[in-house]
A = this chain, B = another copy of it.
Amino acid sequence: MNVGAEVLCIGTELLLGEILNSNAQYLAQQLALLGVPHFYQTVVGDNPDRIHQALAIAASRSNLIITTGGLGPTPDDLTTEAIANFFDAPLEERPEIWERIQEMAAQTGRTLTANNRKQALLPKGADILPNPVGTAPGMVWEARPNLLILTFPGVPSELYPMWQQTASPLLKARNYGNGTFHSKVLLYWGIAESALATKVNHLFALQNPTVAPYANYGQARLRITARANSQEEAIALIAPVEAEILRLTGEFCYGADEDTLATVAGRLLQTSGQTLAVAESCTGGWLGETLTEVSGSSSYFLGGVISYSNDVKVDLLNVERQALDQYGAVSEIVAQQMAIGVKTKLHSDWGISITGIAGPSGGTDAKPVGLVYVGIAHPDGKVEAIELRFSPSRGRNWIRKATVMSALDLFRKRFVMIG
């Protein structure tokens, strides 16, 4: 048949179960977006014979082989060498790769070893697949007629930009895809995947565009995917379905595609010229961290107080000692006082506070693990506290992450209501 892509993941750590093969999913999604048929995924360890055998099988049934892993500088990084061997091509050092490795090392004051030089080798005839993030580039190589090989490092943060910047445009340009796929992903908070699916159940039978639900870290999503001859055509197919979905579920939808709750909140603040400060207890700084993931957030985010201990709540946020004694740190009134406190101390327009019990210890019958209060102090002096309850079985970090997301979602809704 010899048409279609095969993903070949190389790494003993995968066969020992030490890491989850998220690269295979990413590449599968990306190939689907491009409309490239994808029939096989294989995983082998860092073993030359088995890599050779896997290449032989892949080369016999696929016309596009995408490898991940084995491009590092250590002796068990064997991918490039194994590919060169399999296709009987000599390895050549590429001066431009070696220069870049030396440059990157110089920037960070790192000493290079002989091992590093190996990363500058590619089979004769192969092109460099640039790695904008790390030292190891991949290759783009038509190893024989009708057989293209792309290699990537195993590190996802390097693989993603290499795919987006080079591999994806290249496959498009060479017409590997079967038409164009275009997707729009609608992002939700505050509704479970199953409840969301029920609301738009009648749309799952559509053929073009298709509508599919999925969840990621507790966030429900709907993906609308159209196949067409051009991106414009695909977008036109998606538009009416998107409108119908938003009519049914719009109140829970906070954005689409690359949006995050932090970029959405940030855009609202930036547009209005208002500022925000945060006071965090159980999340320990996670809300601040999330807001500052966005480059340029310094124009609206002033900072905050991590008031993990009660003394810090009193000393830095002017929470009343009596409120702590009478109602406890995890209470509506303390959440309100924290939000007002941080807004006042930092002279911001808005204040958001978080206080809760992330567990696994510290819960009581009256205040179980998963109980959280989010306080919001508004520009007009109004302050409110919203109670959230998460299942204790979700675990400490899930509860903390969901709290941060919920706080941003509540803030977004309040802002829109007022603005």
Stoichiometry, as copies per complex, reads 2
B17 touching A29, Cβ below 8 Å: yes
The 8 closest A-B pairs by CB, nearest first: A285-B285, A284-B292, A285-B288, A17-B29, A17-B28, A41-B43, A73-B194, A303-B308
A215 touching B295, Cβ below 8 Å: no
Q: Does A312 contact B (CB under 8 A)?
A: yes
Which residues of A345-378 have CB atoms within 8 Å of chain B's CB atoms? 345-347, 358-361, 370
* B residues near A289, Cβ cutoff 8 Å: 283-286, 289, 400
* B residues near A278, Cβ cutoff 8 Å: 285, 306
Report how many residues on chain A are interfacial, defined by Cβ distance under 8 Å. Answer: 123
Which residues of A365-399 have CB atoms within 8 Å of chain B's CB atoms? 370, 389-398
Instruction: Tell me the complex Cα distance, A96–B387, Å.
Output: 30
B28 touching A39, Cβ below 8 Å: no
Stretch at the interface among A102-110, A248-256, A266-274: A102-110
Which residues of A89-127 have CB atoms within 8 Å of chain B's CB atoms? 104, 107-116
- Shortest distance between the CB of A172 and any CB in chain B (Å): 18
* B residues near A74, Cβ cutoff 8 Å: 193-194, 197, 204, 213
Q: Which residue of B lies closest to A388 (CB)?
A: B108
Query: When each residue 215-233 of chain A gets 1 if its CB lies under 8 Å from chain B and 0 otherwise, what string results?
Result: 1110000010100000000
Q: Does A143 contact B (CB under 8 A)?
A: no
A45 touching B39, Cβ below 8 Å: yes
Stretch at the interface among A7-15, A78-86, A163-171, A319-327: A7-15
Q: Does A264 contact B (CB under 8 A)?
A: no
Q: Does A244 contact B (CB under 8 A)?
A: no
Apart from the given pairs A14-B28, A39-B47, A315-B346, 10 other A-B contacts in the complex at a CB distance below 8 Å: A12-B212, A15-B28, A108-B390, A114-B198, A116-B194, A155-B215, A288-B308, A292-B308, A298-B308, A302-B311
Q: Which of B29, B75, B108 contacts A391 (CB 8 A)?
A: B108
Q: Does A157 contact B (CB under 8 A)?
A: yes
* B residues near A115, Cβ cutoff 8 Å: 194, 197-198
* B residues near A175, Cβ cutoff 8 Å: none
Q: Does A52 contact B (CB under 8 A)?
A: no
- A residues contacting B by CB (< 8 A) are 11-22, 24-32, 38-47, 50, 53-54, 57, 61, 72-76, 104, 107-116, 132-133, 155, 157, 183, 185, 192-195, 197-198, 201, 204, 212-217, 223, 225, 278, 280, 282-289, 291-293, 295-298, 301-309, 311-312, 315-316, 345-347, 358-361, 370, 389-398, 400
A25 touching B21, Cβ below 8 Å: yes
Instruction: Tell me the complex Cα distance, A40–B394, Å.
Output: 32
Known: A197-B115, A395-B133. A40 touches B32 (CB 8 A): no
B32 touching A391, Cβ below 8 Å: no
A26 touching B17, Cβ below 8 Å: yes
B305 touching A303, Cβ below 8 Å: yes
